[in-house]
Structure 1
Amino acid sequence: MEVPIGFLAKLWSFLSFLPFFFLLLMLGLLKGSLIAPLVVGIIVFGNSAVIIGLWPAHFLWTYCCVAKTKRLGLVVKVMALISLPLPLLLWPILAIVGSLLGGLGYGFFAPLVATFEAVGETSTDKFFHCFIDGCWSTINGSCTVVRDFTDFCFHSYFSYMDELREHVPPNEKPVDIKLSKLPSCLLVIVLGVPLDVLLITIVALWKSPYMLLKGWKRLLEDLIGREGPFLETVCVPFAGLAIILWPIAVVVAVISAIISSLILGFYAGVIVHQEDSLWLGLAYIVSVVSLFEEYVNDLLYLREGSCLPRPNYRRNMNPPDGDRNDRKNESEGSYNSKLLLERSKTLKCTIQQYKPMQVWDWLFKSCEEDSRMLLREGLIDFKDIGECIVKGNCKKLSVKLPAWSIFQCLLVSAKSNSSGLVISDEIELTKNNWPRDKVFEWFIGPLLIMKEQIKGLQLDENEEGCLKKLVMDYKNEKPEEWDDTGFLSKDNVRRAQLQAIIRRLQGIVASLSRIPTFRRRFTGLVKMLYMEAVQSGVLANQVAKSSNSERGHGNEGPSDCGHGKDSRSLGENSEHEAPGSGNIV
């Protein structure tokens, strides 16, 4: 699709686009109005059944875990036990209302957007797909929403509560507050919440017309000139859809600002407790409004900074003069780059920007490939597969397998001297192309640190082969655990460093496993692995080997994984075992 050049060509492109856009819009609205009631019914009925059915268990188990935890001090624990009934009683109401609104938005807008996507350049038989796309996929997606919500309520919630009940390490102090500071904290919260909500709401409402007009101006320029993001996608109908839906985005932004102001107001009490100063808590109430305005100005490419006062609310908040100048220069450079970006009519980048979902897909693809190899080598036990499929207990396998896949990625990245992470033969994830997502950066930051630590340890091939078994079969809590494994290095410091990396990696994977989509996709991966293992005979070999071991010499001790032994020999030998018969179900 060629981009028009000249005023007349652009005007003709705009006028000829209007009837085409309105026809697609009417069709999308019709599909959305037909699909939305069914989607709302599925999501509301399914989620409501889960919420009401599990609410007694959630109520009792939350109280039990908070009462038994050692991570909270006495004062915080008593306050939590007193205040818990309110959120626990509001939870069913808010969740059902949220399901209703979410189902309505998803059921209506998903078919609408799919109608416009059906006319893209890559689509074939566009007329047929305009009517079909977004119907069954939206209904199927609503069932997936209920499935993921069920996983969160039934598995992720109890995983969080189990972590709360875990023993506190000796060097970790429980979270507590001093009673002498409590009156000051409550006073600042009482003052800060209404004041910050009022001022931030005024700032958000004051800036909302700028957001509306600047957004419309940019979208109309891109629509008429066929530039900006619409040049990259070469899908003009999305321009008109974005123009119509832009006021909704502005309203959502204002509502989000009002909701966030509540949290910011409550955080003033935290400042008072941390700094042990009522005055600094009051300074935070004023300063946070200035910070909010500066953030909005940066977002809308308005003037730099804020006209509101910004007193210091930390005792050691003032940086040295050199650091202050560096930050000022960095801020000015960032602001100038934003102005250049605003003046630029084209947002098309020469570097491909990956999305979080693409990295998420890579993780499961890597787990799928590694699971086949680990099953052949006997490092994945058929009992773990059976517990995951039959009993739904995937806790061990869902942490060990992704941890090994990510650890393998760190090894390859460290060897290649990559500045980022080598996630496949063709893809290298660096600061230039990884997703611009704060949650993603929270996970990627520790991985980059661990990669540098692995690079400094300079592992050889024998140690890497041994670590495969150590990651999958051991807890890796103490250096003494590796004494009987045949690990080549006897340096306790080196062992402790490797074990710390593995433990931290398993902690990151445990956090990832609580994401609702993780359990659904990992369960599907395990079922696929089980079917392939049955067809190839690997699972039968493990069952026969386990039965012979139990009839013979009992359970075997930990095997030697070092001394230059190639770990792949386990898989090669297993292929020559006499096939047995067995079924884990």
Structure 2
Amino acid sequence: MEVPIGFVAKCWSFISFLPFFFSLFILGFLKGLIICPIAVTIIAIGNSAVVIGLWPAHFLWTYYCVAKSKRVGWVLKSLVLVSLPFPLILWPVMAIVGSIVGGVGYGFFAPLIATFEAVGANVTDKAYHCFIDGCFSTIESSCTVVRDFTDFCFHSYFSYMDELSKDVNEGEKPIDIELWRVPGCLLVSSIAVLVDVPLITAVALWKSPYMLFRGWKRLLEDLVGREGPFLETVCVPFAGLAILLWPLAVLGAFMAALFSSFFLGLYAGVVVHQEESLQMGLAYIVAVISLFDEYANDLLSLSEGSCFPRPQYRRRMKPSTGLEKGRSLDSQDEREGSRSRSSKLVSEGSRTLKQAIQRYTPMQVWDWLFKSCEVNGKLLLGEGLISVEDIQDCMVKGDCKKLCIELPSWCILQCLLTSAKSDSSGLIISEEMELTRFNLPRDKVFEWFIGPLFTMKEQIKGLQLQEGEESCLRKLVLACNNDRPEDWDNTGFPSTDKVRRAQLQAVLRRLQGIVGSMSRLPTFRRRFRNLVKVLYVEAIQTGIPAKHPNGSSRIHLFNRGGRRDRNGAQDDMV
């Protein structure tokens, strides 16, 4: 579209935009007022029922697993058991309050944003969609929130606890602290909370006006000049909405800083224990304020560094610690790219927002994984590497290791093998989609999961696998333990080099560990259930024989019209 040039043209563009924006805003506001009570009722009542119903089990099982765990030493275990009642009693209150606040925010803003999205949607009747979009979808998504929260409380929680109570590996030492250091750690942590929480809160409060007005300035520049994400006409209404809602983003950032300040202060006790020095812990109390101030300056593009002192709180200071500014996988590449003047855009805000638009979203990667599991699962089902018994065991007995862990591992392994043979620097996850360090989702959780895959791809590329090794590796990830090199002795793996086998087994173990962590995410279980249903229907349609779920020798042949046994009796398919 033609960008307005000149002061008069920009003013006229802004004035003509206002009636259109306020009409959409009033409509979205009214939709939010109607849908919000329904969404709050669903989320608050559903989540509260789950939390209150499972709280006795959570309380008892947490104590049991912590007391049973051999991964934690007796001193640390005693401290945890003594301090557990506070978070366990606080958990239902926080969950219920969070559900109410989250329900209000989602129930009101989802219809409001959907009203603006309908303007840019590729539909014929935009006026109809402006009224309808965001109403029923918000109510349906509220039910999905309750279902995902239930999966987290019922499945993910117990999975974490089961892992905590597992036996330690041979040679692995339990996590513990020395008893004589506990008083010093508690003392320094108490001082840090009293000092750092008010000071970090004051720094965040001082930076909030900068964040507010600098954000407004960039959004107004993009709105008037039609740059950044507002270059297209259909995106212009979002500019007004972003300007209007920006103070809420600033308030959320301030609340996040206030909440995180407690954990930053408590970390001083960890520094005392690790460095075996009260002096280092006291130095951290001062240094963390400088670290937070520098992080805020970098985030707001203010002057580098901090005016606060930063004493050394580690005997061997590393270039980056967990509390310092986190570096994403592509931070170095982005800095190098920003130095190039030829690619510099008109405004700094436009450059940042354009880069964000070019990145893939976590949902796109999530969709690829489950689509790949569906396609490859059907192929493996036809080849016999996945049996109908595996599907039935997952649906009836809950034994889903092969489908939940090994099938996604097989799909990601296929992606790694394909990417290793190509000249790509990233991961080729489809013919149209390549995941690189530049277009990774800006999500720390996905960065933790996807980041190691780049290293694993380079490891596989360095091993230069043969076709026979790749084919055998795909089968071993589904049908074999990968704990020791001897586990592959009778598998027919072409290479007899134990070092090579150990390297490949380490890749498979790490891959299955990543998938195991993914499986604890709430959305994973919901989509995994849909995947199992698809594979079960595929088994029915292809007529693959299977044993009866109760374990008897009676065999059913699954056909399109129903289930027919050997006697010819046919049952209706549910």
User: TM-score scaled by structure 1?
Assistant: 0.88
Structure 2 partner of 1:142 = 142
Report the Cα offset of residue 162 of structure 1: 0.8
Give distance in 1, aligned partners of 2:266 and 2:356: 44
Distance 2:79 2:172 in 1: 21
Q: Is the Cα contact below 8 Å between 1:301 and 1:338 reproduced in 2?
A: no
**In structure 1, what is the equivalent of residue 195 of structure 2?**
195
| Equivalent in the alignment of 1:390 | 396
Q: Post-superposition shift, 1:408?
A: 0.7
Match of 1:370 in 2: 376
Counterpart AA for 2:82 = I
The offset of 1:438, in angstroms, is 2.3
Confirm or deny: 8 A CA contact 1:304 1:335 kept in the other structure: no
The alpha-carbon deviation at position 543 of structure 1 amounts to 4.6
Q: Which residue of 1 is the match for residue 206 of structure 2?
A: 206
2:505 to 495, 499, 502: 499
Instruction: Tell me, in whole angstroms, the C-alpha distance in 2 between the residues paired with 1:345 and 1:2.
Output: 21
> How far is 1:332 from its partner?
13
> CA separation of 1:218/1:413 partners in 2, compared to 1, >3 Å: closer, same or farther?
same
The residue number in structure 1 matching 2:166 is: 166
| Structure 1 residues 71-93: Cα deviation after superposition (integer angstroms, max 9, x where no partner) | 10000101111111111111111
Alignment of 1:382-461 (within 5 A): 382-461=388-467
* Cα distance change on mapping 1:290 and 1:411 into 2, 3 Å: same
Give the equivalent residue in structure 1 for 2:301. Answer: 301
Change (3 A) 1:527 1:445: same
**1:492 & 1:116 partners in 2: Cα distance?**
60
In structure 1, give the amino acid aligned to 2:440: W
Whichever residue aligns with residue 365 of structure 1, its letter is: K
Are the counterparts in 2 of residues 31 and 135 from structure 1 also a CA contact under 8 Å?
Answer: yes
1:40 and 1:103 in contact (8 A); partners too: yes
Displacement, 1:334? 7.3
CA distance in 2, matches of 1:38, 1:25: 20
CA distance in structure 2 between the aligned counterparts of 1:207 and 1:350, rounded to whole angstroms: 23
Question: Which residue pairs with 2:253 in the alignment?
Answer: 253
Describe the SS at the equivalent of 1:235. helix
Q: How far off its partner does 1:374 sit? A: 0.8
User: Displacement of 1:362 after TM fit?
Assistant: 0.8
CA deviations on 1:515-569 (whole Å, 9 max, x unpaired) are 00000001101101111210111x22x559xx99x89xxxxxxxxxxxxxxxxxx
Q: Secondary structure at the match of 2:231?
A: helix
Q: Secondary structure of the equivalent of 2:358?
A: coil
Distance 1:333 1:227 in 2: 22
Matched to 1:498, the amino acid is L
Q: 1:322-381 CA distances to partner (integer Å, 9 max, x unpaired)?
A: xxxxx9xx8996797599678447433599321121111111111111101110111112
Once the two structures are TM-superposed, the CA of residue 391 in structure 1 deviates from its matched residue by 3.9
The answer for the alignment partner of 1:176 in structure 2 is 176
CA contact (8 A) 2:119 2:234 kept: no
Matches within 5 A, 1:473-488: 473-488=479-494
Q: Distance in 1 between matches of 2:177 and 2:348?
A: 51
Note if 1:34 corresponds to 2:40.
no
Indicate the larger mover: 394-403 or 499-508: 394-403
Distance 1:508 1:336, change over 3 A: closer
Question: Separation in 1 of the partners of 2:78 and 2:315?
Answer: 30
RMSD over aligned CA atoms reads: 2.7
The 1:198–1:346 alpha-carbon spacing in structure 2 relative to 1, beyond 3 Å, is closer
The Cα of 1:140 is off from its aligned counterpart by 0.3
Within the candidate set 353, 357, 361, 1:355 is matched to 361
Q: Any idea what SS the aligned residue of 1:475 has?
A: coil
Cα pair 2:44 2:100 within 8 Å, conserved = yes
Q: What is the CA distance between 1:382 and its match in structure 2?
A: 1.4
Measured at CA, do residues 335 and 279 of structure 1 come closer, stay the same or move farther in structure 2, by a change above 3 Å? farther
Deviations 1:476-518 (A, max 9, x none): 1122222222222222222211111111100000000000000
Shift of 1:6: 2.5
Task: Tell me what 2:495 maps to.
Answer: 489
Q: Percent identity?
A: 67
Partners of 1:163 and 1:342 in 2: how far apart? 52
Amino acid at match of 2:84: L
Superposed counterparts of 1:65-214, under 5 Å: 65-120=65-120, 122-214=122-214
Give the letter aligned to residue 119 of structure 1. V
For 1:98 and 1:338, the matched residues in 2 are separated by 45
Give the whole-Å Cα distance in 1 for the aligned partners of 2:390 and 2:197: 51
For residue 540 of structure 2, the aligned residue among 530, 534, 558 is: 534
Unmatched 5+ residue regions in structure 1?
320-326, 552-578
Q: Aligned residue for 1:567? A: none
**Alpha-carbon distance in 2 for matches of 1:430, 1:196:** 39
1:4, 1:10 within 8 Å by CA — same for their partners in 2? yes
- The AA in structure 2 aligned to 1:477 is D
Deviates more, 1:519-528 or 1:435-444: 435-444
**In 1, Cα distance between equivalents of 2:540 and 2:158:** 32
Change in CA separation of 1:264 and 1:484 when aligned onto 2, cut-off 3 Å: same
- Which letter maps to 1:390? V
State whether residues 402 and 478 of structure 2, in contact with CA within 8 Å, keep that contact through their aligned partners in structure 1.
Answer: no
Partner amino acid, structure 2, of 1:469: K
Residue 173 of structure 1, CA deviation: 1.5
Structure 2 unaligned runs (5+)?
A: 320-326, 555-563
SS of 1:212's partner is: helix
Question: Which residue is 2:473 aligned to?
Answer: 467
1:509 and 2:515 aligned: yes
What amino acid is aligned across from residue 386 of structure 1 in structure 2? Q
CA contact (8 A) 2:427 2:434 kept: yes
Deviations 1:116-144 (A, max 9, x none): 11111634311000100000000000000
For the 8 Å contact 1:65–1:161, the answer to whether it is kept is yes
Distance 1:437 1:234 in 2: 27
Give the deviation of 1:161 after TM superposition: 0.5
Give the stretch that moved more between structures: 438-447 or 405-414: 438-447
Deviation readout 1:424-483 (Å, 9 max, x if unpaired): 122221112222332222222211111111112222122222222211112211222222
Residues 2-11 or 331-340, more deviating: 331-340
> Given residue 2 of structure 2, which amino acid in structure 1 is its aligned partner?
E
TM-score normalised by length of structure 2 = 0.90
Q: Which amino acid aligns with 1:37?
A: P
Matches within 5 A, 1:210-359: 210-231=210-231, 234-317=234-317, 343-344=347-348, 346-347=350-351, 348=354, 352-359=358-365
Residues 270 and 431 (structure 1 numbering): CA distance in 2 closer, same or farther, change over 3 Å?
Answer: same
Tell me which amino acid in the other structure corresponds to 2:116. F
Q: Tell me the distance in 2 between the aligned counterparts of 1:21 and 1:475.
A: 60
Question: SS of the counterpart of 2:304?
Answer: coil
Alignment of 1:9-24 (within 5 A): 9-24=9-24
Match of 1:559 in 2: none
Distance 1:19 1:126 in 2: 17
Q: 1:218 Cα deviation (Å)?
A: 1.3
1:264-307 per-residue CA deviation (whole Å, 9 max, x = no partner) reads 00000000000001111111111110011111111111111101
